[in-house]
Amino acid sequence: MKTLMIKTHEAWLEMLMAGFMSKTQNKQVLFDFSDILFRHFTWLENELIEMGESYSYDRDTIPIKVEKLSNLLQDIVLRLNEIDLQLLSSPDKALAERIASDIYYMKEVISKMKDEVVTAFNMARTFPGISLTQEATDALTLFLFEETYKEYELIMIYNYLKAHSSDAYMNRIFQILIDESFFHLKSFGDMGAKMGILAVPRIVMKELYQVEDVVQFLKDGIDEELAAKEECKKLSEAVSKDSSELAKFFDFINHQENYHISLMKDALKHYTGGVNE
């Protein structure tokens, strides 16, 4: 079961990376499939919790540097085959059947996808249609590298907290934050691919999601969101001379963080019984 969950985690990320690499109609299909694999992952996690098994989000590193999309898709098919074999270990037969049927269809579709040349690793560090100064390019490179990881980390943390909570009030907030982090992850991953600097986010340390003190976690989280806002503001300023389009995008992301902060404050209040202002 644990192997099954880990392999599903890896397949989800690899499918997402394939989505970032694609520049054709394949893209949306790959994103949808990666969302489906993420849901499989959370259901398998739930099964492990119900079985009372301890687990973590550890996984292997995922090599994704390919020249053609088909190379990565072939690898994903191999992973899906392995998941299919591992499904025997799942006691929930309805879930195993659902996953098997999804996998069967996904394999069909991706093995027939039109091939694409991959430019997501060419290190060109240029944006199509936008010419950025060296300074803005460096700032954007650093931002994308850091924030892509950060958003993945947040997805894993909120997902873990949600998986272990039966508090409907908190779970609504956790789910919003997961969805929002997915949007940010997808946006930044796409930009990274366009700039030729795509990379799989590094593995998240257990200590980060196996949170002992949720109140402290939320307090720190609010500070981190404030820091993220600052980063967006700086970046928006750095690129504003070269591209008002990019500047507006980072202002938009910056403003979204306000809502995250407000939700986290609500969560904090809920946790501390309303005594926190």
- CB of residue 151 vs Fe ion: minimum separation in angstroms? 6
Residue 206: alpha-carbon gap to chain centroid:
17
User: b/e for 240-249, b at 16 or more Cβ within 10 A?
Assistant: eebbeebbeb
Toward Fe ion, which CB reaches closer, 176 or 214?
176
Q: Does 184 bind Fe ion (CB under 5 A)?
A: yes
Stretch that binds Fe ion, among 5-13, 76-84, 137-145, 258-266 (CB under 5 A): 258-266
CA distance 26 to 44: 27
> Given the complex with Fe ion, which of 33 and 160 has the nearer CB atom?
160
Structure tokens given for 93 = 């037969």
Query: Which residue lies nearest Fe ion, judged by its C-beta?
Result: 260
Residue 186 touching Fe ion (CB under 5 A): no
167 Cα distance to chain centroid: 24
**Binding-residue pattern over the window 224 to 253 for Fe ion, x denoting contact by CB under 5 A:** -x----------------------------
CB of 188 to Fe ion, least distance (A): 9
Cβ–Cβ < 8 Å for 254, 240: no
Q: Which of 45, 153, 190, 257 binds Fe ion (CB under 5 A)?
A: 257
Q: With CB under 5 A as the contact rule, which of the stretches 43-51, 193-201, 218-226, 265-273 interacts with Fe ion?
A: 218-226
DSSP label of 212: S
- Distance of closest approach, residue 244 Cβ to Fe ion, in angstroms: 21
Query: Phi and psi of 68, rounded to 5°?
Result: -125, 145
56 phi/psi in degrees, rounded to 5 = -140, 175
Separation of alpha carbons 68 and 23, rounded Å: 12
Tell me: does residue 153 bind Fe ion (CB under 5 A): no
Q: How many residues bind Fe ion (CB under 5 A)?
A: 4
Interface stretch with Fe ion, choices 7-15, 128-136, 182-190, 244-252 (CB under 5 A): 182-190
260 binds Fe ion (CB under 5 A): yes
Question: What distance in Å separates the CA atoms of residue 131 and residue 110, rounded to the nearest whole number?
Answer: 34
Give the span between the Cα atoms of 82 and 40, in whole angstroms: 15
CB of 255 to Fe ion, least distance (A): 11
CB of 65: closest distance to Fe ion in angstroms?
A: 26
Distances from the Cα of 230 to the Cα of 224, 254, 267, angstroms: 10, 8, 23
Shortest CB 118 distance to Fe ion, Å:
26
Q: Where on the chain is the footprint of Fe ion (CB under 5 A)?
A: 184, 225, 257, 260
